Amino acid sequence: MTQFESNIKYVPYSQERVYEKLSDLTNLSDLAEKLEGIKSQLDGKLEDLTFDQDSLSVKVQGINLTLRIIEREPCKCIKFEGVNTPIPINLWIQVLPNNGDQAKMKLTVGADMNMFLKPMLSKPLKEGVEKLADLLTIIQY
């Protein structure tokens, strides 16, 4: 399993607020609306985004990806697992306190890639985890 980590991001909301918003994916409806508004700027890379309480599905460059929450560690971590993904994949969102009214966040993606896929997928996965982390910092928690 190869891991890709985002840089640590700072969010101007408490750890509890960030965790509560992200641990129930239906809270992200405002994010879906924002993405609709900027789809044209993404050069067709993101085609669709849907979610329910425990899962998130996105269509990126013609590939459907679904991530399902498999574990919630209150206020600290949300773990996702890929469902029917082309390669086995996991995502962890870690949320830690930082000065009371601010939280630190780091995303980690783990992907099980063979030696042929690794050179092709490493850069997009690293960039993707960083962009996702950036996106999560602009949400109104």
Q: For strand 63-73 and strand 102-111, is the pairing parallel, antiparallel, or unpaired?
A: unpaired
Please list the helix, strand and coil fractions of the chain in percent, rounded to the nearest 5, in that order: 35, 40, 25
Place of tokens 């993606």: 109
Residue ranges per structural domain of the chain: 2-137
Bridge partners (DSSP) of residue 110 are 3, 90
* Confidence band, pLDDT 50/70/90 cuts, at residue 5: very high
Alpha helices in the chain (DSSP H): 15-23, 29-38, 118-137
pLDDT in tens, 76-89: 999 999 998 888 99
Q: What is the DSSP string of 43-78?
A: TTSEEEEEE-SSEEEEEETTEEEEEEEEEEETTTEE
> In the chain, pLDDT over 90 holds for what percent of residues?
53
* Confidence band, pLDDT 50/70/90 cuts, at residue 93: very high
The pTM assigned to this predicted structure is 0.86
pLDDT value for 74: 96
With 70 as the cut, is the pLDDT of residue 125 above it? yes
What CATH number matches the domain at 2-137, 2.60.120.380, 3.40.710.10, 3.60.15.10, 3.30.530.20? 3.30.530.20
Contact of 7 with 137, CB cutoff 8 Å:
no
